[in-house]
Amino acid sequence: MSTLANKVAIVTGASRGIGARIAVALGKAGANVVVNYVTSRDAAEQVVSELGEAGAHAVAVQADVSKPADAARLFDVAIERFGKVDILVNNAGVLIFKRIEETSDEDYAQTFDINVRGTFLMLREASRRLENGGRIVNLSSSVTRLMVPGYGVYSATKGAVEQLTRVFAKEAGGCGITVNSVSPGPTNTELFNQDKNEETIKRLAEMAALRRIGEPDEVARVVLFLVSDEASWVTGQNIGVNGGFA
């Protein structure tokens, strides 16, 4: 894997879970990293500290990506601190595990605001400010390939993210920018585990060909590949990182 030395990355939702491990993987590969968080400042600073111990430069930035001014500020800080932005990983997201009949208007609005509007706003900023030859990876989910009760609204938002990915790949390709999405299966994170009992988690694990739940670092390694030079001919794709879940 080629180094990411002198590259600058923004990772949204990077204070914990998959986002945190992506931020660490990019930093250890040489990138300067903007670690985005909304409320988990201490957790974000822990990620920055881990990156510092690995010899990487990083900064934690509070921003709600569903707000245009905050999305723009992430790019402002990255450029002010590191001079440019080469890599964008849209990881910020929420998961409300409810059947459609139980989903409130507020649940629906929050999920679409963060998962879809947040991705859209960051892509719009990237269209203006990402370096030529840059890399974008959006986080989707393998539930878009299945009909799993409780994931109706969430899977709808991730389906939208996949379509934004495909279209933006065409729009940004003239600048040498690649745009891909990654679809994790069940992964051992706080976001995945919330609102689920042991029986539900076991059932989802058994749906994977490898009969287990994935780990955040396994997803991070695929993202690292997609932002590297080795993936220069990969764009507009959705990569399942799910142990054969779907």
Catalytic residue, chosen from 37, 108, 151, 154, is 154
Residue position matching structure tokens 């919330």: 194
Measured distance CA(18)–CA(193) in Å, rounded: 13
Spell 78-116 as b/e; 16+ CB within 10 A means b: beeebeebbbbbbbbbbbbbbeeeebeeeebeebbbbbb
Which residue spans within the chain are E strands per DSSP? 8-11, 32-37, 58-62, 87-90, 135-139, 178-184, 238-241
Alpha carbon dihedral 234, 15, 61, 3, in 10-degree steps, equals -40
Q: Is 154 a catalytic residue?
A: yes
CA 43 to chain centroid = 17
Measured distance CA(15)–CA(60) in Å, rounded: 9
Phi, psi of 208, deg, nearest 5: -80, 145
Closest by CA position to 99, among listed 158, 154, 161, 159: 154
Cα-atom radius of gyration of the chain, to the nearest Å? 17
Measured distance CA(226)–CA(137) in Å, rounded: 7
Active site residues: 154
